[in-house]
Copies of this chain bind each other. A is one copy, B any other.
Amino acid sequence: MAGKLYGIGVGPGDPKLLTLKAKEILENVQAVAYPVKEKGEESTAYHIAAQAADLSGKQIIEIEFKMDKDRQKREACRREAAKLLASYLDQGLDIGMITLGDVSVYSTYTYVNQMLAQKGYETEIVPGIPSFCGGAAKAQISLAEGNESFGVISSLKGEAQLETALKTFDNLVVMKAGSSVKKIAAKLAAMGLESHGAVLSNVGMADEYIGPLDTERDYGYFTTLIIKKKEDVQDGLFYRRRTGGSPASDN
């Protein structure tokens, strides 16, 4: 009998933010798979999972997902990935394929899940804490209250997108915002919203920064912005720091 494929979100970084279900399934499967850009690469998702669950003795499957600009090459890569996973499933092995954050939010897992489900393999998705929820919790600010709406954007496509999104939604999350912080800050200033943005950068890492928009800093790839149209977030961030939440690095 063929094995079962689980897509498992390991959350934003803290191993204790794995769910009880993720830990249980990871300890029961025979193989753990994770996406890499190049073979032999270190996997952050694996590093997180291995601190929360006992993964000793598991078969490890590296899945290559090349970040090629060519769509056909990316699709060929996904078909290869599905084929590789199928070869283990056909041996009767259950596989836990892990991904950072939540499985449904910007993960490469969805593609192989669909391909393998279509071929008749049993699949299940175990959700994880998305990074923007982890970040909002650290900053102790909300993403939406009452009847508010919020939007999530990954890597800003231009100022027009930002403006339209801010007009349509009460609050906005911009993921992978590292390189566009200055542009976003300028736009917010022009809209009179300069103190309405919170930056969450490299959360859980040594150079973590959670604080107001500071255009003098350099931000890494794992930078998320939360913009609240109706609320000045500076106060909240200030209180958070004063009362002993995880301190901002400029404290």
Partner-binding segment picked from A54-62, A127-135, A185-193, A205-213: A127-135
Output the nearest chain B residue to A174 by Cβ-Cβ distance.
B149
Residues in chain B near residue A14, CB distance under 8 A: 21
B20–A104 touching, CB < 8 Å: no
Q: Would you call A204 an interface residue if the criterion is a C-beta within 8 Å of the partner chain's C-beta atoms? A: no
Counting chain A residues whose Cβ lies within 8 A of the other chain, the interface size class is: 35 or more
Contact of A11 among B16, B19, B113 (CB under 8 A): B19
> Which residues in B have their C-beta under 8 angstroms from that of A137?
102-104, 125-127
Q: Does A120 contact B (CB under 8 A)?
A: yes
A245 at the interface (CB under 8 A from B): yes
CA distance A129 to B11 in the complex (A): 9
Distance, CA A73 to CA B117, complexed state (A) = 51
A121, A149, A169 — most chain B CB neighbours (10 Å):
A149
Asked if residues A243 and B123 are in contact (CB atoms below 8 Å), the reply is yes
Q: Are B165 and A114 in contact (CB under 8 A)?
A: no
- Stoichiometry, as copies per complex, reads 2
User: A142 to B20, Cβ gap below 8 A?
Assistant: no
Residue A215 at the chain B interface, CB threshold 8 Å: no
Please give me the residue from chain B that is nearest to A19 by CB atom: B17
Given known pairs A52-B20, A114-B239, the reply for A105 and B144 (CB within 8 Å) is yes
Which of A31-39, A84-92, A151-159, A216-224 lies on the face that meets chain B? A151-159
Cα separation A19 to B142 with both chains bound (whole Å):
19
Given the known inter-chain contacts A52-B20, A114-B239, A130-B130, please indicate yes or no for A152 contacting B150, CB distance below 8 A: yes
Q: How far is the CA of A17 from the CA of B244 in the complex (A)?
A: 28
A72 CB to nearest chain B CB (Å): 15
Q: Using Cβ atoms and an 8 Å threshold, which residues of chain B touch A133?
A: 9, 102, 104-105, 127-128, 130
Chain B residues whose C-beta falls within 8 Å of the C-beta of A120 in the assembled complex: 242-243
Interface centre among A11, A16, A21, A104 (most CB of B within 10 A): A104
Q: Which residues of B contact A168 (CB under 8 A)?
A: 151, 164-165, 168-169
